[in-house]
């Protein structure tokens, strides 16, 4: 029994190290000088310095990139929550012809590869005149989350007892009111789960952003980071500093929300 427990902790520790390993080197690279990062060597820097972080931040308009990333991610999360909480509510509790068909239609979009849609989206946006704007990113991002979001939120709303809705209706509440005052507050963990599952890939999105944004003043963080590595010999201390700037906010967000996130995921599985 005791041997088993020690072995268990050994396994857990090894995988914990594997999980954080690239991240440790990211931090280490970010606080190394240019000479030391070129020389390779140890994880713990001999001459740790904040200069790389500061210069990378200033030199690369990171304030601008950061703001752009916040705008795109924020609008996408907001759009996803508004659009698909409404739709999922309809799928979960309302009665109307075509409900099941529409629900399965949205879920089956999960199997349309992003690359199949990428080129037509770019052509469409060129014709609409929104290619290269932040709106041109947010609209397809929101649309792209439809399958998983509808699946999870419909499950979450279904798990809320029908009696609550009936009681509210008996009190004369209309659908909009029941949705707003009963279903939304009771589904907060599910909404937070959706927010995290949407925010992380949006914050890191590179493919559509790369082919649609040309104006450097609209660059998001991943595009800013890319400009650093396109030079022949990448200065890895700067690349790692910029990478750290990108991942820290997401880590903070996750740590802050993780309790709800886990509960929301649990609810989604049960539902």
Partner 1 sequence: MTTQHVAGRVRPPGRWRAALTGYAFVFPAVALFAVMGVYTIGSGLALSFAKWNGFTPDWIWVGFENYLDLIYADPSLAPPLRAASWNTVQVMVLVPLLTVAISLPLAVVLNSVRRLRAVLRSVYFLPYVTSGIAVYYAWRYILEPDGAINLLLRSLGLGTLAQPQGFLGNPSTALPTLIVVLVWSSVPIATLLYLTGLQAIDPALFEAARIDGAAPRQVLRRITWPLLTPLTAGVVLLGVRDSLHGFQIFLIMTGGGPGGHTDVLGLQAYRLAFFKGLAATLGVSSALGWLLFAGALLLTLVNARLLRRVR
Site for partner 1 in 144-163 (CB under 8 A): 146, 150
In this chain, which of 70, 107, 118, 186 binds partner 1, going by CB under 8 A?
118
Interactions with partner 1, residue window 189-228 (CB under 8 A): 200-201, 203-207, 211, 222, 225-226
- Name which of 139 and 156 has its Cβ closer to partner 1: 139
C-alpha dihedral over 117, 123, 128, 129, to 10 degrees? 120
Q: Which of 143, 186, 227, 260 binds partner 1 (CB under 8 A)?
A: 143
Cβ proximity to partner 1: between 139 and 218 the closer is 139
Total site size for partner 1, rule CB under 8 A? 90
Residues in 60-99 at the binding interface with partner 1, rule: CB under 8 A: 82-84, 86-87, 89-91, 94-97, 99
Under rule CB under 8 A, residue 167 binds partner 1? no
Distance CA 113, CA 88 (A): 23
d(Cα 37, Cα 235) in Å, to the nearest integer? 8
CA-based nearest residue to 198, from 112, 27, 82: 82
Angle (nearest 5°) at CA 202 between 207 and 106: 90
Smallest gap from Cβ 111 to partner 1, in A, equals 5
The whole-angstrom separation of Cα 204 and Cα 220 is: 9
Q: If 0-12 CB within 10 Å is exposed, 13-18 middle and 19+ buried, where does residue 114 land?
A: exposed
Of residues 14 through 53, those in contact with partner 1 by CB under 8 A are 15-16, 18-23, 25-26, 29, 40-41, 43
Q: How far apart, in whole angstroms, are the C-alpha atoms of residue 230 and residue 37?
A: 18
Residue 166: both structure tokens together: 């009936």
Q: Is 258 in the site for partner 1 (CB under 8 A)?
A: yes
Which of 54, 63, 119, 167 touches partner 1 by CB under 8 A?
119
Q: Segment 234-253, which members bind partner 1 (CB under 8 A)?
A: 236, 239-240, 242-244, 246-247, 250-251
Among 54, 56, 114, 192, contact with partner 1 (rule: CB under 8 A): 114
């Amino acid at each position: 029994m005791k041997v088993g427990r020690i072995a268990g902790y050994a396994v857990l520790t090894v995988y914990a190290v594997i999980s954080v390993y690239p991240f440790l080197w990211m931090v280490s690279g970010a606080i190394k000088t240019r000479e030391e990062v070129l020389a390779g060597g140890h994880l713990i820097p001999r001459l740790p310095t904040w200069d790389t972080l500061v210069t990378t931040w200033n030199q690369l308009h990171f304030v601008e990139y950061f703001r752009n990333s916040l705008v795109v991610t924020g609008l996408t999360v907001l759009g996803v929550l508004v659009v698909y909480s409404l739709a999922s509510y309809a799928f979960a509790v309302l009665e109307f012809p075509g409900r099941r068909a529409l629900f399965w239609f949205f879920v089956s979009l999960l199997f349309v590869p992003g690359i199949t849609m990428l080129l037509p989206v770019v052509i469409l946006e060129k014709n609409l005149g929104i290619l290269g704007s932040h709106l041109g990113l947010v609209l397809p991002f929101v649309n792209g989350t439809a399958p998983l979001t509808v699946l999870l939120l419909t499950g979450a709303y279904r798990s809320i007892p029908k009696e609550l809705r009936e009681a509210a209706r008996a009190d004369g509440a209309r659908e909009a009111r029941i949705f707003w005052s009963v279903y939304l507050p009771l589904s907060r963990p599910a909404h937070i789960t959706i927010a995290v599952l949407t925010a992380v890939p949006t914050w890191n999105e590179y493919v559509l952003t790369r082919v649609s944004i040309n104006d450097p003043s609209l660059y998001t963080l991943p595009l800013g980071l890319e400009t650093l590595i396109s030079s022949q010999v990448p200065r890895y201390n700067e690349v790692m500093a910029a990478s750290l700037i990108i991942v820290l906010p997401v880590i903070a967000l996750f740590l802050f929300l993780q309790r709800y996130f886990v509960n929301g995921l649990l609810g989604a599985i049960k539902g």
